[in-house]
Amino acid sequence: MQDLTQILGGMDYPGRGIVAGRNDLGHNVFAYFLTGRSPSSKARMLKVGPNTGVISTECTDPKQLETGSRALLIYPAIIPSAKGVVMSNGSQTNLLHSFLESGENLVGGDSSFHSLKSKLVLLNAFEKPNFLYDAQKDRSINQTSYEPDVPNNTPRINLVALRNGGCFHHVFKNTLDRAEQRFYPFDFVNGQARLLTTYTGENIEPLPSFTSEPVLSSIKCLRTVAQTADAIYGALNSNYRIAVAAIHVDPQNGKIVDRHIINPARDADRL
């Protein structure tokens, strides 16, 4: 099994990415990263909400951001709660959070039960179209389909995780020009993580969507949250990396052990 940093190091341009696993200390590991090529994509950082612990993208240069799509670039990426953790690469994180919080509070149960329940949250959230009004471009965006950023048609990548299991999910444009969904339930295993990115890593035009199952990797050396964030940031292509956020969660009580964010200024702050 390859190390997570080896996998990321072999990807020239992965786009946005979600990592979820469990380290050797038994903590659940979650990380989200941004890479970008355009000025509007690079004009962002990751910031944590002081009251909620929600980690969101934030604008660093309003002029540059207006050349892109604010509705696709600014969103909550990680929402932790007492029930679990939801993550995504867009505004659909709010949708996932709503369905998770409105469901039953699942503390007990084994990993298979938790992975199944996580999949059900995703199934319910993506069961039917859900639209967001984009005032900047005066259009409606379907949050349950791939992004309308022709020619890339960036997939929406998602994660719902309870204490002992979770489920990855992505929706992408298939060869029939239709939105296709795939679900990947998983159990947390010490020393292992899975990686799901928006693109395959090839830096070509148009960017090829990642359509396979999340890549299994080793995270045996990532014992602290700072090590997690630093390792991911260091493995990303220095020409495109923007920001990395990581949190470690104690599966026994669902509480955040620690968090660490690395932003464009390349100064890491423990928050």
Q: Give pLDDT tens digits for 46-62.
A: 999 999 999 999 999 99
- pLDDT for 104 equals 75
Average pLDDT of 167-189? 97
Residue 162: C-alpha distances to residues 36, 111, 167, 256 (Å):
30, 9, 9, 13
Q: Could you state, in order of their start, the residue ranges of all structural domains in the chain?
A: 4-270
Q: Which CATH number fits domain 4-270: 1.20.120.330, 3.40.50.880, 3.30.70.60, 3.60.20.20?
A: 3.60.20.20
**pLDDT of res. 265:** 54
CB atoms within 10 A of CB 206: 12
Distance CA 125, CA 98 (A): 9
